[in-house]
Amino acid sequence: MTAPIQLTPALTAVTAPGNAADRVVKRRRILDILDHSGRDSLLLTSNTALTWYLDGSRVHISLAGDPIAALLVDRSGDHLVTFNNEAGRIEAEELPEGVNLHSIPWHGQLHASAAGLAVDGNPLLEAAVAGELRAARQQLLPAETARYAELSVDAAAAMTDVLTGATPETTEFQLVSELAARIVAVGAEPLVLLCNGAARSAFRHPLATHAPIGRRAMAVVCARRRGLVANVTRWVAFDAGTPQELDAEARIAAVEADIFRATVPGAKLNEVFAEIQDAYVRHGFGPEQWTLHHQGGPAGYAGRDPRVTADVADRMVLNQPFTWNPSGPGVKIEDTVLLTDSGLRVLTTDDRWPTTEVDGRRRPITLRP
């Protein structure tokens, strides 16, 4: 491994991610984990952990691949290890102030090289403190909150732009390609793009096809920028809708309202999960509906961090983001929200989208261009 790379003035024209005040808090959170574990170093290797700790640095090339960097946090500082063919870009555009950059050959062993920087060569691994790291990410800091809100607005606006221009003849692939273009245009990465037209409304994770969307369609976007992921689902229709569809839309919004009421500081995620199960029954979807699709959970630096189940007992905290996504046959509702001291704040909003009031909150309804 080479010596730490020194920043050069010629490579600092692009402002790197990283809010200094937020990063101080994050480092303190990691040191607290080390103190509690009785260890002196921690190796971060997942995209979720790296982008959180580095405050939004892009540490990927392929969206489907592993990170091209690993980070050793010890009591002396932060040490980011990457391959020699990535080091120049990382140095110039992605390295927060105060992080030491180390380069290894492109064919080298990334994790082993980063671990080798530890004094004893045996750092604590992510898997050993997965719950502690998740807790460290729960509460967004001020700069994170601001950029998450901006991303969420951009994602919602992309939905409005694309679905307003759709027609029954628009194919699913055409619709998601236009969504992808708008997400990329605002500097984000489309991690998930889904669409089902009228003929495929039974599918809850509908990858796009060449089929026209027809009289009614659902679109889903999960967009990532500077590590944070905003999630949103919207519907478009070209007729008034059947009585059954309108009834189901109202009932799934009522399920969501029950979930929102249960999303309060101090409550456990598995308690919310139990409320979700009961809400489906209360609103006429039956006791098995929750088994047909995941229900969402905390959001932030992962699409769900984690998905809520009966086994997840994390307690919710202020300034924690969530994306709940209750669904039923032919219906689904999903937005990214933030738990604040004045209640839930919906982040993925666009004033151009039609809404209705549900339990005192404006919620999206089906767009009819």
pLDDT range class, residue 126, cuts 50, 70, 90: very high
What percent of the chain stands above pLDDT 90?
95
Q: In Å, how far are 31, 177, 231, 306 from 347, measured between CA atoms?
A: 31, 24, 10, 19
DSSP 220-270: EEEEEETTEEEEEEEEEESS---HHHHHHHHHHHHHHHHHHHH--TT-BHH
pLDDT tens per residue across span 286-298:
999 999 999 999 9
For the chain, residues classed under CATH 3.90.230.10 are 142-364
- Helix axis angle for 243-262 and 269-282, nearest 10°, is 150
Average pLDDT over residues 200-217: 97
pLDDT range class, residue 244, cuts 50, 70, 90: very high
Residue 99 reports pLDDT greater than 80: yes
Q: Is the dihedral of CA 156, 158, 163, 164 positive or negative?
A: positive
Average pLDDT over residues 58-83: 97
Average pLDDT over residues 253-257: 98
Q: In Å, how far are 154, 205, 211, 217, 368 from 172, measured between CA atoms?
A: 21, 13, 6, 9, 17
Give the pTM: 0.95
Q: First vs last Cα of the chain: how many Å apart?
A: 59
Closest CA to 46 of 114, 139, 128, 127: 127
The pLDDT of residue 10: 40
Total number of residues shown for the chain: 369
Closest CA to 156 of 355, 19, 359, 348: 348
For the chain, residues classed under CATH 3.40.350.10 are 9-137
DSSP category for residue 3: P
Residue 13 reports pLDDT greater than 80: no
Residue 260 reports pLDDT greater than 90: yes
Average pLDDT over residues 148-172: 98
Residue 6 reports pLDDT greater than 80: no
CATH 3.40.50.300, applies to 9-137: no
DSSP category for residue 326: -
Residue 14 reports pLDDT greater than 70: no
The pLDDT of residue 16: 78
Superfamily name with CATH number, domain 142-364: Creatinase/methionine aminopeptidase superfamily (3.90.230.10)
Average pLDDT, rounded, for the chain: 95
The pLDDT of residue 18: 86
Q: CA–CA separation, 367 vs 216, rounded Å?
A: 10
Residue 8 reports pLDDT greater than 60: no
Residue whose structure tokens are 């809708």: 241
The pLDDT of residue 17: 87
Asked if 4 contacts 101 with a C-beta cutoff of 8 angstroms, the reply is yes
Give the SS3 label for residue 85. Answer: helix
